[in-house]
Amino acid sequence: MEALPSTRGMTATFDFELIERYGEVLAAEAKRSGEDVAAAPPMRLPGGFSEDPFLTGVMGKHLIMGIQAAGVRAATGLPAGDPRNLIPYEMAVKDGQVACVTAEHPLLDDWGFRGSVIPNAPVPRVEGHAEVARMLAGRTITLLKNDGALLPLSPDIAGRILVLGPPMFAEGVREVLAELGAENPVVTDPSAEADTVIAVGSDAVPGAIVVLTSADPADTPWLDDVPAVLECYHPGQQGGRALADVLFGTVTPSGKLPAAYPAFPFGFGLSFTTFDVHTPEVTQTGRFVVVNVPVTNTGSVAGGEVPQVYADIPVASSAGGAVERRLVGFRRVEPAPSETAVAVIEIDAAWPNHPFSRWDDEAREWVLAEGDIVLHIGTSAADLPYTATVRF
């Protein structure tokens, strides 16, 4: 098992700075192995980081920036295919200034690539970094259901705890309980009696706290039979302790789904605190759009929220008014209890993710949409209470 959480999990943080820290760890391992170049995780679509090209590109380029800020050259492949699926790689070249690619590609010159083409790049194997890995894994965890505010658990109420699933999760629960000075029995025998049941990466048990460890969007036909669900993706070697940190409230979950699940929309994620997202202020100056979203923490603990901006882009001038809704901006904020933070989301129509453009198959290029474009603002693809209009 890898020491660090997966890039899918890291993408769920929607946190630029955190994934740069992840890149710094990869760079440190490359240096330890005597390498001056490190392969960045692939940004293929769908999969890898996210199903969304813009989110994949943002997190991918910041991971690359983290590797290169630590003095190691990052390398990425560049697949053939639909230019719309190459957005993450265009962002990696133009914004991330990736140093190396592992194959020639006709678009590299168009994108202004000035780095090196190398036949292959080593993949850093991360060992150690236990506390950083634990912190990163904890930040990836996404709370999907929490009926009756069951979580976080109090050791005094949790009683005897049954953990079903890989042994590292039961061990993580034991270690964190010990750190908290609690002496709850933790058992793993499925036939054992228990006051609290935690089912990790297995078939759901009615009444259990279910922990998904999904590489891809998971179906949850048992959702109505359980009180709480968390997604921790592939959390790495410290996943057991990271999960227990969340279960017992030393870490507040703040991940957001980087892909739509059958029962949950893209960008969705709950918290142990509550937030009020206030009316955004939207301004436009030429090709530049700024969306300011005030977010107030109305709960009693610190936590993170991620305002998101989606745009309705006309598919084509002759498509009868059909639009494609796409993510064009987001910003994570972490206001303290009773405080308000403003998520400042800047969008430039000329950015390499082509936020307000459509792909023209005949011209084989991105074309800026003309006329009004409606923006939808909220905290997931299905919770967008605010709208605004920009015009190009």
- What pLDDT sits at residue 202? 65
How is residue 340 annotated by DSSP? Answer: E
C-alpha 66/C-alpha 21 separation (Å) is 6
Q: How many CB atoms are located within 10 Å of the residue 372 CB? A: 11
C-alpha 174/C-alpha 185 separation (Å) is 8
- What pLDDT sits at residue 183? 95
Are the beta carbons of 356 and 373 closer than 8 angstroms?
Answer: yes
Task: Please give the mean pLDDT across all residues of the chain.
Answer: 95
pLDDT tens sequence across 243-260 = 999 999 999 999 999 999
Enumerate the H helices of the chain as residue ranges: 7-11, 16-32, 53-69, 87-94, 107-110, 130-140, 155-158, 167-179, 239-247
Per DSSP bridges, beta strands 340-348 and 288-297 are antiparallel
Average pLDDT in the 174-192 region? 97
- Examine the pLDDT at 268 and tell me if it is beyond 90: yes
- Examine the pLDDT at 1 and tell me if it is beyond 70: no
- Surface-to-core class of residue 259, CB atoms within 10 Å of its CB (0-12 exposed, 13-18 middle, 19+ buried): buried
C-alpha 89/C-alpha 77 separation (Å) is 8
Average pLDDT in the 234-244 region? 97
Q: How many CA atoms lie within 13 A of 59 on its CB side?
A: 28
Q: Which of 66-80, 205-219, 312-326 has the lowest mean pLDDT?
A: 312-326
- Examine the pLDDT at 319 and tell me if it is beyond 90: no
C-alpha 68/C-alpha 75 separation (Å) is 10
Give me the domains of the chain, ranges plus CATH numbers: 7-117 (no CATH), 130-247 (3.40.50.1700), 275-391 (2.60.40.10)
C-alpha 95/C-alpha 212 separation (Å) is 34
Under 8 Å CB-to-CB from 48, ≥6 apart: which residues?
7, 8, 41, 42, 56
* Amino acid identity for residue 51 in this structure: E
pLDDT tens sequence across 73-128 = 999 988 877 878 899 999 999 999 999 999 888 899 999 999 999 988 999 888 88
C-alpha 277/C-alpha 271 separation (Å) is 14
Q: Provide the pLDDT confidence category of residue 201 given band limits of 50, 70 and 90.
A: confident
- What pLDDT sits at residue 320? 67
pLDDT tens sequence across 56-75 = 999 999 999 999 999 999 99
pLDDT tens sequence across 16-38 = 999 999 999 999 999 999 999 99
- What pLDDT sits at residue 81? 75
- Examine the pLDDT at 350 and tell me if it is beyond 70: yes
- Examine the pLDDT at 363 and tell me if it is beyond 90: no
Percent of the chain with pLDDT over 70: 98
- What pLDDT sits at residue 322? 86
pTM of the model: 0.96
Average pLDDT in the 301-311 region? 97
- Examine the pLDDT at 176 and tell me if it is beyond 90: yes
- What pLDDT sits at residue 78? 85
